[in-house]
Structure formats: structure tokens, C-alpha cells
């Protein structure tokens, strides 16, 4: 009971912080496109697209730390060992960033050269910040983790509002993607300095020697390598459609598609709280209890996710009035938005269970197969239809196949109950896709909500009744 109260408390805490981050993402996601314009926004999204791959450049070291120390409290950490870890990782990331800068010198295209330099700086401070965040997550210091994320979001909003103010008083001011990228990297630098001060005990002081402990360092890479690769394979799968559209369509089309993805990321920002809290919690559970918890978590997540899709309707109205130049992106949102249900289950729950069960390698192998399948299917969609909508639809099909294979593996090998949740997911996804085709937005909303309530009650009647009874009992107390 104590553990359940702890996870609920931590989950609520991280959910609240992620909700604040969502609000900042909404501000940024709606103002930045207006400030930069479609073409500059397209270049900025190209930077963020490749920035998503830079976490690969810790080569499993950070994930190894999370896996190895995920069941320890902060006071149990070996401080001398972590000082060695901190110094080793800092030097490693400096070298990687320097390589980015050297390559950028050889590139004649100024825009690409700038993006490469920016990626080098981003890689350094992003991975160093992630190093400290993983320590916070592993040791369940969620207050600290949440507060830092809120501050980062607040600084980002302040930068965006300052740029908007400048654009307002000086309409002809040349505020391009380069300025915003520089300021974004500056925020990461500030966050890194703050974390360095918070965790100075893990940085400064007597540390273990490198050579006698090289096997310990290597063990972090060994433990975390497949987890890192699986994450990056996941990023690649999620971005195959982005890659095709950025390569074969105009910058303007890609800007619209990227904007649609930004809207979806706003919802996923809040949901990421589940993953942050879940891993260190289930790592402390017995395998039997972890298996029993799986179905309940997926059910709760799916009910919440498909309820949150209602935000599509006010979002549609808002974009049509505030950002009419981006309204065409809502056609992409209609296709991509229900994929949030699949994506959230894969990234927040399924991947964590593969890690806890020590099957990161299997998850990676499945991911590589799905990546190849995604590349072929998206390529086929482009070849046959030559439209970005066909590619978007195919990416949704790929997600469903991926989730089916991973859940089937857990069900077959660990007796995880998954079939009912999968069919609910499939029916709700189809329901949303059909509902948004109704021309009247209010009729469409009514139809979707009605179907949602009917299907949710039909599939999870007992769970809903049990939850309601539990709430009533707690209120009576």
C-alpha cells in the first residue's frame, strides 16, 4: 500500500510538472511558427529532427547507469565511483562535440554548417544534463527532476515571448531559426550549470582511478548499449515518415507536417510522466507483481489517452483563427493523432517492461525489423501515391504492427494479458479516424465522445465500477 501511495504521489507530481511543460509547449509551438514563418520553421525542425538522434552519442553509458542504479537511493550511491563517471562522461562528450565542429568547417552550405555546429553544442549540454536527470530518476528524486524541467520550460517561454515582443515593436526584425537555436542551447547550458551545482558531490572531490575501474565503465556501456540502440531505433521508426517528407517534398510541406507533429508532442509531453516514474518503481517489484501491474497500467493509460484526443477539436478551431497558414497541417493531425495511443503504450510501458525483464536486446531486434518494414512500407506509399498523407497513414499501420509484436512477445513469454487492451486500442483508433471525417466539428465531437464512452464502458466495466467504489470509500473516510 505504501508503494502504491508513493508511485501515485510521484506520478501526480511529475504529471503536474509535465502539464506545466505542456502549457509552455503550447505557447512555443504556436508562437514560434508565427515568428519564424514556414520556411525558417522548416529549417528549425530539421535541426530538432537530427537533435533527436544525438542521445545515441552516449553509446549506452547513461542507460547503463539507469539500469545498474535504478533500485538504489541517492545516499547508497558510491560517490567516488560517480565522480569518475562524471569526469569520464564530460571528456567523452567534449570530444564528440569537437568532431561535429570539425565536420561543419568542411561543409560549404552555411545553413547546414550552422546546424552541425549547433548540434555539437546541443549534444554536449543535452547529454550532460540527461546524465544528471537519469541519476534523479534512478534514485527517485522526482521533486528535483520535476522542478528542473519546469524551470527549463519557463526559460523557453520567456525567450519566445521576448522574441515575440521584439517582432511586435520591430515588424521588420530578422528573427530567424539561427537566433532561436542559439538561445535554446543557452538554456541547456544554464540547466547544466545548475545541475552541476546540485550534484557537485558527484563531480568534485576524491574519485576512483580510471584504469583500475575501466571494467566498471565498460559494464555501463555493456548494460545500456541495447537499451540506447532500442531507443534510437524507436526514434528512427517514429521519424521515417518525417525523413521521407523532408527528402521528397518541399520545405513548406515538411514545415506543415512538422507542425502537426509538434502538436502531437504536446500531448506526449504530459504522458512521459508515466515512463519517468514507472521504471524505477517496477524495477523494485517482483516479476509476478510487475506482470500483474502491466494490464492495469495499459488500461488506465489508454482510457486517458483516448479521452485526451478530444483536444483535437478546440485545437482545430484555434489553429484556423490564430495560425491560418498552418491550418492545412490539421489534415495530418487527423491521421497522426490517434497514433498517440500506440506510441504512448510502446514508449511509456512496453519498453520499460522489456528493460526490467532484461530483454533490451530482444526489443532492439524487434525494433530493427520494424524499422526495415517501416522504410519499405513508407517508401511503397510514396512510390504508389506520391502524397504525404499516404506516408502518414502508413506510419500509423507500422505502429500498430510494432505494438502487436511486442505485446504478443510479453504475453507469450511472461503471461502478460494484452489482447483486450489491443482490441480496445484498435477500435478507438478507427473510431477517431472516422469521426473526424464528419464535416460539422460539433457533430464530429459528439459522435467521438459517444463512441468513446460506449466502448470504454463495454471493455472495462468492472475496472470502472471498482475504481468508482474505491473513490467513494475514500471519500467516506
Nine-digit cell string for 52: 533527436
pLDDT above 60 (res 402): yes
Most confident stretch, 136-140, 246-250, 425-429: 425-429
For 60-79, what is each residue's pLDDT tens digit? 888 888 888 877 788 888 88
For 332-376, what is each residue's pLDDT tens digit? 888 988 888 888 888 777 887 888 787 888 988 999 999 999 999
**Interval 125-154 mean pLDDT:** 84
pLDDT above 60 (res 109): yes
pLDDT-derived band of residue 3, with 50, 70 and 90 as boundaries? Answer: low
Q: Given this model, what pLDDT does residue 1 score?
A: 43
**What span, in angstroms and rounded, lies between the C-alpha atoms of 20 and 151?**
10
Q: Given this model, what pLDDT does residue 448 score?
A: 95
Q: Hunting for cell 545516499 — which residue is that?
A: 75
Contact 236, 371 (CB under 8 A): yes
Q: Given this model, what pLDDT does residue 27 score?
A: 75
pLDDT above 90 (res 377): yes
For 213-248, what is each residue's pLDDT tens digit? 888 888 889 888 888 888 778 878 888 888 888 888
pLDDT-derived band of residue 273, with 50, 70 and 90 as boundaries? Answer: low
Contact 370, 405 (CB under 8 A): yes
Q: Hunting for cell 484555434 — which residue is that?
A: 318
Q: Given this model, what pLDDT does residue 398 score?
A: 93
pLDDT above 90 (res 287): no
Contacts of 43 (CB under 8 A, 6+ apart): 111, 115, 177, 251
pLDDT above 60 (res 123): yes
pLDDT above 90 (res 93): yes
Q: Given this model, what pLDDT does residue 4 score?
A: 54
**Interval 386-411 mean pLDDT:** 92
pLDDT-derived band of residue 443, with 50, 70 and 90 as boundaries? Answer: very high
Query: Considering the chain, what percentage of its residues have pLDDT values greater than 70?
Result: 92
Q: How far apart are the first and last CA of the chain?
A: 16
pLDDT-derived band of residue 9, with 50, 70 and 90 as boundaries? Answer: low
H-run or E-run covering 115: helix 110-138
> Quick one: DSSP state of residue 280?
H
Amino acid at each position: 500500500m505504501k508503494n502504491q501511495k508513493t508511485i501515485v504521489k510521484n506520478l501526480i507530481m511529475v504529471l503536474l510538472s509535465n502539464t506545466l511543460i505542456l502549457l509552455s509547449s503550447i505557447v512555443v509551438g504556436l508562437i514560434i511558427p508565427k515568428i519564424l514563418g514556414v520556411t525558417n520553421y522548416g529549417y528549425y525542425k530539421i535541426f530538432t529532427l537530427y537533435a533527436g538522434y544525438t542521445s545515441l552519442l552516449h553509446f549506452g553509458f547513461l542507460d547503463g547507469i539507469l539500469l545498474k542504479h535504478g533500485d538504489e537511493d541517492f545516499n547508497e550511491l558510491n560517490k567516488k565511483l560517480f565522480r569518475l563517471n562524471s569526469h569520464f562522461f564530460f571528456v567523452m562528450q567534449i570530444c564528440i562535440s569537437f568532431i561535429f565542429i570539425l565536420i561543419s568547417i568542411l561543409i560549404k552550405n552555411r545553413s547546414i554548417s550552422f546546424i552541425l555546429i549547433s548540434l555539437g553544442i546541443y549534444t554536449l549540454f543535452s547529454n550532460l544534463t540527461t546524465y544528471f536527470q537519469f541519476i534523479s530518476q534512478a534514485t527517485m528524486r522526482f521533486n528535483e527532476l520535476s522542478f528542473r524541467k519546469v524551470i527549463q520550460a519557463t526559460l523557453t517561454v520567456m525567450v519566445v515571448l521576448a522574441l515575440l515582443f521584439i517582432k511586435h515593436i520591430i515588424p521588420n526584425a530578422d528573427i530567424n531559426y539561427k537566433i532561436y537555436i542559439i538561445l535554446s542551447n543557452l538554456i541547456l547550458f544554464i540547466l547544466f550549470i545548475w545541475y552541476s551545482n546540485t550534484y557537485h558531490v558527484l563531480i568534485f572531490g576524491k574519485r576512483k582511478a580510471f584504469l583500475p575501474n575501466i571494467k566498471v565503465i565498460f559494464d555501463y556501456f555493456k548494460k545500456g548499449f541495447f537499451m540506447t540502440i532500442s531507443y534510437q531505433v524507436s526514434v528512427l521508426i517514429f521519424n521515417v515518415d518525417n525523413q521521407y517528407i523532408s527528402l521528397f517534398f518541399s520545405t513548406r510541406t515538411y514545415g506543415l507536417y512538422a507542425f502537426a507533429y509538434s502538436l502531437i508532442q504536446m500531448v506526449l509531453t504530459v504522458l512521459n510522466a508515466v515512463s519517468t516514474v514507472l521504471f524505477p518503481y517496477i524495477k523494485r517489484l517482483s516479476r509476478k507483481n510487475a506482470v500483474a501491474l502491466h494490464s492495469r497500467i495499459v488500461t488506465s493509460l489508454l482510457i486517458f489517452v483516448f479521452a485526451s484526443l478530444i483536444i483535437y477539436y478546440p485545437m482545430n478551431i484555434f489553429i484556423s483563427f490564430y495560425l491560418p497558414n498552418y491550418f492545412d497541417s490539421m489534415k495530418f493531425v487527423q491521421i497522426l493523432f490517434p497514433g498517440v495511443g500506440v506510441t504512448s503504450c510502446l514508449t511509456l510501458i512496453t519498453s520499460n517492461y522489456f528493460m526490467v525483464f532484461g530483454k533490451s536486446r530482444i526489443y532492439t531486434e524487434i525494433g530493427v525489423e520494424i524499422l526495415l518494414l517501416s522504410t519499405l512500407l513508407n517508401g511503397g506509399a510514396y512510390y504508389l501515391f506520391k502524397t504525404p498523407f499516404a506516408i502518414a497513414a502508413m506510419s500509423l499501420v507500422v505502429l500498430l504492427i510494432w505494438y502487436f509484436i511486442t505485446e504478443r512477445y510479453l504475453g507469450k513469454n511472461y503471461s502478460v494479458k494484452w489482447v483486450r487492451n489491443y482490441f480496445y486500442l484498435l477500435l478507438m483508433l478507427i473510431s477517431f479516424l472516422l469521426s473526424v471525417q464528419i464535416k460539422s466539428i460539433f457533430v464530429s465531437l459528439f459522435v467521438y465522445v459517444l463512441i468513446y464512452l460506449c466502448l470504454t464502458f463495454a471493455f472495462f466495466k468492472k475496472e470502472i465500477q471498482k475504481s468508482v467504489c474505491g473513490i467513494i470509500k475514500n471519500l467516506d473516510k
